[in-house]
Structure 1
Amino acid sequence: MGTRVVVVNGPNLGRLGVREPDVYGHLDLEALRRDCTTWGSELGLDVEVRQSDDEGQVISWMHQAVDERTPVVMNPAAFTHYSYGLADAAAQVTEAGLPLMEVHISNPASREAFRRHSVISPVATGTITGLGFYGYRLALESVAHLIERS
């Protein structure tokens, strides 16, 4: 078993495959779970994919990651733009010396104006946007690289 990594997805990502397929594609959360688990295994990572529409739950997962020394790949979804509580919790991940990769399926910079601001990006280790599910693969590769380097 490899290094544990948690992939955390915020609100409405449980609706993948149903919500705006022209933006997010036709694959669903289970497909994302399968892909991330497979990609993680190839990289020697033990990946767990989570999703919640509850901001408090996502914040609790950040606290848990810090306490358990677990790297994070996070698609904060709508929380990206306004959740200072999540930004504070995400900062605790990186302040603990753990990788935190921010991922977005679409490119927020090419969408509505309110989506162009992230309160998470300033505290994330890195950000990957606009590459669909493949962005999660790149985020997992980045985590594996950062772990190997440390």
Structure 2
Amino acid sequence: MKESFYDFKAKDILGNEVSMNNFKDKVVLIVNVASACYFTPQYKGMERLYKSFKTKGFEVLGFPCNQFAEEEKGTNEEILNFCTSHFDVSFPMFEKIEVNGANAHPLFKFLKKTVKGFLGSESIKWNFSKFLVDQSGNVIKRYGSMDAPESIEADITKLLAKG
């Protein structure tokens, strides 16, 4: 049987197991995040998109990762405090994970295999890589760190319109 986005589970930042099935029928943006990165200000854009579209069936899921220049050193509690106090993040945040290598989270292994990156590469190059999933659980598109959340808004709007 072919794997689906909805087959996966992850622990939220408070340690509760969350099924991706909870996001069925929604457009979902999945992002590997870090608190001490050049791209960290993208939290503002991610939160703005979340607040703009959450009532229309849109979710943002943040997955902290410390694999890139150790830019996410904190504990889950410290990460949550940073995100809420600096960027007023209200979208779901998850426990710190790995996105590359042997210990990569199964969800990210699936995302990377489904939509490859630059020159067909599966590995994630840096923090704030993004994956867009449609209402049926299909991974539609992959974006790099340089792709600001605002630049994804048209793709999100298009998917929500198909709804």
Superposition TM-score, scaled by structure 1 size? 0.39
TM normalised by structure 2 equals 0.36
